Structure 1
Amino acid sequence: MDVSTFYAVFSATCFALVGLWWGVTLRDTRWVAEPARRRAIGGVYLAFLLPALMGLFAQVGGVEEPLVWRISFIIISVVGCVATIRLLATDAKPAVTGIRAGAAAVYVLVALLGVFPASSDVLDLRPIQVEALLLVVLVALGHALAWHFVVHDAIEEDA
């Protein structure tokens, strides 16, 4: 698949996931009344929004203008890492803590690859391709957070 096509599909999918997540959170407005739960909802929201934004910047910059996507990936990754670490401080559940720690690590890798794009040579891929793989991992971790929130937290609340 062409990298430009990947990022177009990827961004659209991530923005769709943001919209779906809004729908999930609106199904029970009690969720947003609790500060801890509201932070968890925001964490899932960012897990889909930030990769979507990176995908858009990758489309704008592409291979021809790597500075555009590199700078945006670095900035957005720093935002994602800081937000994730702040959420880690409030996590009480080991499963969620592990998912968030994994996301923070991926954000660090995304930022480092933006700073040191030549490090992708180890994988014999272009930097923007390695970033794409890392963004897929971020979205998968976002799905894990959403699953945990909806299945475990919501069920615990109803019990």
Structure 2
Amino acid sequence: MDLSGFYSLMAVTCFTLVGLWWTVIERHPRWKADPLRRRLAGGVYLSFLLPGLMSTFAQVDAGNPLIWRSSFTVAAVVGMANTVRLIGVDRGTARGPFRRSRWLVVVVYAVIAVLGLFPGIASVVGGTALQAASIALILLIVLAHGLAWEFMMESDDTTTKASD
């Protein structure tokens, strides 16, 4: 698959997942009332939205790498900041392997930011920056799926008790 096809498919997939997540949230109105659950649900939302945005920007103008590089860097910084905040909120209450390993999301976003800032670094592994970033985006989506699953499988009283 060429990179254009990959990023097109990734964008469509991510925005579809955003829409599905909206449906999940709509079916759980208690999540909106609990500040911790609302933050965690927002984290899942961004986990699908940011890779979708990056994938869309990667397709804007192949001849102008500044577009994808700046959008990947900004989105990665937003993703890192949000994830670090969620790690602090979730500290001591994380039960599943994905929530306990949420720090990996920060690492993947950091890799994306570095690729946006210094695309030549990808040549170390024999590829382009957009190829390396595509692998990082796949990892982000896998982690997002795990985080969404664990969040949805918690009982309603688990998170509320942890936030008291």
- Smaller-chain TM-score range? over 0.9
| CA distance in structure 2 between the aligned counterparts of 1:137 and 1:40, rounded to whole angstroms | 19
Q: CA-to-partner distance for each residue in 1:132-157, whole Å, 9 max, x for gaps?
A: 11011011110011010112345958
**Which runs of no fewer than 5 residues in structure 1 stay unpaired?**
none
SS in 2 for 1:60: coil
Q: What's the offset of the Cα at 1:96?
A: 4.7
Which runs of 4 or more aligned residues in structure 1 lie more than 4 Å from their structure 2 counterparts after TM superposition? 153-157
AA aligned opposite 1:25: I
| CA distance in structure 1 between the aligned counterparts of 2:117 and 2:155, rounded to whole angstroms | 38
| CA distance in structure 2 between the aligned counterparts of 1:153 and 1:144, rounded to whole angstroms | 16
Aligned twin of 2:67: 68
In structure 2, the CA distance between the partners of 1:125 and 1:132, relative to structure 1 (3 Å rule), is same
Q: 2:8 aligned with 1:11, yes or no?
A: no
Aligned twin of 1:148: 150
| CA distance in structure 2 between the aligned counterparts of 1:122 and 1:99, rounded to whole angstroms | 27
AA aligned opposite 1:123: V
| CA distance in structure 1 between the aligned counterparts of 2:137 and 2:155, rounded to whole angstroms | 26
In structure 2, the CA distance between the partners of 1:9 and 1:102, relative to structure 1 (3 Å rule), is same
Aligned partners of 2:44 and 2:147 also within 8 Å: yes
SS in 1 for 2:102: helix
Mapping of 1:97-108 within 5 angstroms?
97-108=99-110
Aligned partners of 2:99 and 2:147 also within 8 Å: no
Aligned twin of 2:43: 43
TM-score by length of 2: 0.90
Provide the alpha-carbon RMSD of the alignment: 1.6
| CA distance in structure 1 between the aligned counterparts of 2:94 and 2:102, rounded to whole angstroms | 11
In structure 2, the CA distance between the partners of 1:153 and 1:112, relative to structure 1 (3 Å rule), is farther
Matched positions, count: 156
TM-score by length of 1: 0.92
Q: CA-to-partner distance for each residue in 1:5-33, whole Å, 9 max, x for gaps?
A: 11011000000000000111111211111
Q: CA-to-partner distance for each residue in 1:99-148, whole Å, 9 max, x for gaps?
A: 32111111011001111111111221111011011011011110011010
Q: What's the offset of the Cα at 1:38?
A: 0.3
| CA distance in structure 2 between the aligned counterparts of 1:19 and 1:97, rounded to whole angstroms | 22
Structure that is richer in helix per residue: 1
Aligned twin of 1:134: 136
**Which runs of no fewer than 5 residues in structure 2 stay unpaired?**
160-164
Shifted more, 23-32 versus 41-50: the winner is: 23-32
SS in 1 for 2:5: helix
